Structure 1
Amino acid sequence: MRKTSLILLASALPLAVQAANTEFSYGGYLKLDAMMSTYSDGDLGAASGGRDYYLPFTIPTGGEETSSFDMSAKSSRFNFKTVTTLENGEKVTGFVELDFLGSAQGNEVVSNSYSPRLRHAFFTVGNLTFGQTWSTFMNTSALPETVDFLGVSDGTVFNRQAQIRYTMGDFQFSLENPETTVGGTASDDNGLPDIVARYNLKAGDHTFSIAAIGRQFASQNGVSGPTGVDETATGFGASVSGVIKLGADDLKFSYTTGNVARYVGVGSASDVVVGANGDLEATDVNAAFVAYRHFWTDKVRSTLAYSMLEADYDDAAAVTLTESSSSTRLNLMYSPTKEVTYGVEYSMASRELVSGADGDMNRIQFTSKFTF
């Protein structure tokens, strides 16, 4: 990357900067979230990501009723983009984005200091994309507008990972970084990439996406003898999602099914369990959401959303794993200008384990966001 002088940067920012054959630009937002949560069956520890945004698998399922109040700016993000024109006239686009969620650094005693995490780091040349970004299996345009970082966590495909993607018009094909969760724990033993194919289509103002995935599951525990596990299995899944325009309003939806546990519910279900004979038994998952957004005025709107997840484990010993979860949320969003948004949201969610143990969460959340 060519260097751009500080004088040039100072004079041109925040507009894109042209340095020789490379253009630079940046963006992101500053965001404050404040939430009051009540858990019916236990306490959610201070270090849990479920205190920052809705993670279905973090809902406690044992203990007394507890409550918490949290306020942070962790979801603020910054991105940096470059567009370089090559000697042959072809353009290469690079993109990097960071935020501060999921940080193990810092606490709320004095400084609330949190380390940045990598969200995206990829470049695109021609029809090819290389690097880390949203999985091709995921349709980001179908995500509803929620105060919570994700909102419909139970029912949506949500995944960022390294990949090589080929795009030809509305068709996409990718080889993506694999991972297998065994009994809820990541194994990192896969020998083949996840394979994804997706087709996007339009019908007037409406947009839809159909995607399919093929996966290898693998686990090696390094133990010899009858307790040793060195197995692989295969799995497949499909997803359909879309946006239906209803005048100014919209209806967004998604339905995903198959052996897709780590791709939905933010990994709430386990990809496989180890059966009594030592074989890997893939989990069958169904996940869905539907969200309706209504514009009261051009600056005020509300979204009502419902999401759900159900997991079917073949092994009866998986009593501590999440079998189902669901959530419902209603919000009110106000944007006095396109750069500033205020929002308030009420959500209620539930989670049940294979054992039958369950728990509920109720949350009121406020957000304010400035986009630049």
Structure 2
Amino acid sequence: MKNTNKLLLVSMLGLGLGCSAAANAAFEVDLGDDQKIKFGGFIKIDGRYVDGDVGYRDFWIGSGSVLPEDASQFKMFANESRINTTYTNGDVTGFIEMDFYGGGGNEIISNSSHPRLRHAFIKYKDVLIGQTWTTFMNTSALAETADFAGPMVGEAFVRNNQVRYTNGNWQFALENPESYGGNPNEDAMPDVVAKYNFKGDWGNVSVAGLFRQLNTEMNNSESAFGVSVAGKIKTTGKDDFRFQIHTGNVGRYVGVTAAKDLVGEEVEESTSYMVAYRHFWNDDTRSSAFYGNITTEESDADRSHWGVNVFKNYTPKLALGVEVGSFEMADQNAESMYLQFSAKYSL
């Protein structure tokens, strides 16, 4: 009865998350009997000015859209804000997270946005089952940016439903297949990922391999292989260098729609990379400079994204930042510059 009352209290507190800044402090409650529940996330408010001939869609996705002529736009939004819950019971952990990129709403009256599921998985000892970042990714190698995820054209950036097994530095996964550009209705084999993580006081580097069986629009089966090397290396003081390199038939796993898995009856081949350096000016202020690029063989795409930013923590939980950058589609002779301001309150 005592644990039931605690769980009821936590549930009631959880309903208040998002009502006000004061109600959004992250907290963990020990329910007893080796059970814990934790709420987390952040509130993020962005203002962005864009000028150029590439259309902006919430964040710089690899496909972009070329405008008939140069245009300028200023928008403010809060839909990157997110909330998550972690429940632990002994060796079992459940995690669920959502943000508000689910579409809906309007800017005439309410600016409402639908919630969207990001992560939902169960982890028991060394086995994870559910939806989360693909095992092909190294999340520590993502640049710190004001723009959502930054130079995604050069990053592995996919969430998949999967079954993952971790054994020391090794990770193996069977992940949800999708023949992007082909006929996904005939996908019969899961994607296979194997990754080895090198770790030390110096940082970490991961080497990953990807194998898939893709299905073309004519229902022909094609094999696809890809490799990735990514990491975060500590330099001087608190500074760090982050990088990613991907090549082969990585398709939808890299670049956020910059490359399809299949172009007609051919398997797409791409090469992409991202580099970022983060420098701490002092304990409260830091900057990152980043660049990402992807090129493809079959579709002849050439997309790049660079940016420079500065963030200052006014409290341990509250940070304000500004970023200037550019997104370019060299294959279509199109480019846009942007200036973004962000306020982020971590719960």
**TM beyond 0.5:** yes
C-alpha contact (below 8 Å) 1:190/1:219 kept by paired residues: no
Q: 1:208 aligns with which of 189, 205, 212?
A: 205
The runs of 5 or more residues in structure 2 that have no matched partner are: 15-24
Aligned residue type for 1:56: G
Query: Number of paired residues?
Result: 332
Q: 2:28 aligns with which of 16, 35, 43?
A: 16
Change (3 A) 1:188 1:268: farther
The runs of 5 or more residues in structure 1 that have no matched partner are: 45-49, 86-90, 221-228, 275-279, 314-320
Q: What SS is found at the alignment partner of 1:141?
A: helix
Change (3 A) 1:331 1:186: farther
CA distance in 1, matches of 2:211, 2:57: 33
User: Cα distance, 1:337 vs. partner?
Assistant: 2.0
Q: What SS is found at the alignment partner of 2:301?
A: strand
Q: 1:325 aligns with which of 279, 303, 317?
A: 303
Change (3 A) 1:219 1:24: same
User: Cα distance, 1:144 vs. partner?
Assistant: 1.2
- Deviations 1:140-165 (Å, cap 9, x if unpaired)? 01111111111011101001010000
Q: What SS is found at the alignment partner of 2:140?
A: helix
C-alpha contact (below 8 Å) 1:293/1:301 kept by paired residues: yes
CA distance in 2, matches of 1:33, 1:68: 14
Aligned residue type for 1:100: F
Query: Is 1:136 matched up with 2:149?
Result: no
Instruction: Tell me which residue corresponds to 2:251.
Output: 261
Query: Is 1:335 matched up with 2:313?
Result: yes
Superposition RMSD in Å: 2.0
Change (3 A) 1:32 1:188: farther
Q: What SS is found at the alignment partner of 1:154?
A: helix
- Deviations 1:23-61 (Å, cap 9, x if unpaired)? 2111000000110001226xx3xxxxx33212131141x
Aligned residue type for 2:292: S
Aligned residue type for 2:168: G
Change (3 A) 1:327 1:116: same
Change (3 A) 1:5 1:141: closer
> Structure 1 segments of 4 or more deviating over 4 A?
2-5, 7-14
User: Cα distance, 1:243 vs. partner?
Assistant: 1.2
Aligned residue type for 2:234: K
Aligned residue type for 2:95: F
C-alpha contact (below 8 Å) 1:165/1:172 kept by paired residues: yes
Q: How does 1:310-321 map to 2 (within 5 A)?
A: 310-313=295-298, 321=299
- Deviations 1:180-202 (Å, cap 9, x if unpaired)? 111xx773431100000001012
C-alpha contact (below 8 Å) 1:191/1:218 kept by paired residues: no
CA distance in 2, matches of 1:5, 1:212: 42
Q: How does 1:179-190 map to 2 (within 5 A)?
A: 179-182=178-181, 187-190=184-187
User: Cα distance, 1:341 vs. partner?
Assistant: 0.8
Q: How does 1:136-175 map to 2 (within 5 A)?
A: 136-175=135-174
Instruction: Tell me which residue corresponds to 1:112.
Output: 111
Query: Is 1:70 matched up with 2:75?
Result: yes
C-alpha contact (below 8 Å) 1:9/1:17 kept by paired residues: no
Query: Is 1:236 matched up with 2:225?
Result: yes
Instruction: Tell me which residue corresponds to 2:22.
Output: none
Aligned residue type for 2:309: N
Change (3 A) 1:11 1:69: closer
